[in-house]
Amino acid sequence: MKSSVSVFIVLFAANCFLLEGSSHLHSRKIPKLATVWGFSWQNCGDQDPAQLKTLHISPDPIPIPGQLTAEASGTTSVELVSPLSLNVTLDREVAGVWVKIPCLDEIGSCHYPDICDLLNQLIPPGQDCPEPLHTYGLPCHCPFKAGDYSFPTSNIYIPDVELPGWLTNGNYKVQGVLGSSGKELGCLKISFSLHSSM
C-alpha cells in the first residue's frame, strides 16, 4: 500500500502547526491546544493530477493530547518528484472577517520550496518511515509514483503540544497547494476550530 501525497499535505500542515511550532517558542506563557472541532476538507483543484478521494478523521472534537482514528485514499496521475513546492495559506476568522495570518517562525501562510528536502531532513534517507507508515509499507520520501493510494484505518496518538500565543481560540481555514515547475499538482482546503486552554 502507498500513501496519498494529497494526504501528505494534511499531515505536513498539521506538523507545521502542531509539532514544528514548539521549537520556535519563546519564554512567554502559551496556550495549550485542548481540542480541534469541526474538521472538514475539500479539493480545490478539480483538474489537478493529485486528488484526495476520501479522508475520515474521528472523533469530533479531536482531543489533544489524545487518540484519533484516520483513514484516507487518493490518486495522482503523475509522478511527484523534487523540487516539490508547498504553498500554505492560513486564515483566521476575526469578527466575522477572514484574515490571512503571515508566516511567522515557519508557521502560518508560508511557502516551502521543496517538501522533498524537508522530508529528508525530518526523516533521513535510509531510516525507517515513522509509524504507522512503516507498518503498512508506506513511503515517506520523494519521488511518489503515479497511481492510486490508500491509508487504512489507523489509530494515531497526538502528544501534548504548545502553540504560539497568536494561534488562539477561533475558526481557521488552511489551503495547501502542491506544485512543481510552476504547475499546480494538487490543492486541498481544510477548516477547523481551535479550543485551547492555558
DSSP 2-27: ---HHHHHHHHHHIIIIIGGGGG--S
Q: Which residues pair with 188 in a beta bridge?
A: 43, 176
Higher pLDDT, 13 or 198: 198
Torsion angle of alpha carbons 119, 125, 129, 134, nearest 10°?
140
Q: Is the pLDDT confidence value at 15 over 90?
A: no
Which of residues 88 and 24 earns the better pLDDT score? Answer: 88
Give the model's pLDDT for residue 185.
93
Average pLDDT, the chain: 79
CA–CA distance, 54 with 25 (Å, rounded to integer): 34
pTM (2 d.p.): 0.81
Give residue limits of the domains in the chain: 5-197
Cα–Cα dist 24/38, whole Å: 27
Q: In this structure, how many other beta carbons lie within 10 angstroms of the beta carbon of residue 154?
A: 15
Q: How far apart are CA 115 and CA 113, in angstroms?
A: 7
pLDDT mean over 16-27: 37
Residue 32 pLDDT: 57
Give the CATH class of 5-197: mainly beta
Residue 24 exposed, middle or buried by CB count within 10 Å (0-12, 13-18, 19+): exposed
Give the residue-averaged pLDDT of 160-166.
Answer: 69
| Count of residues in the chain | 198
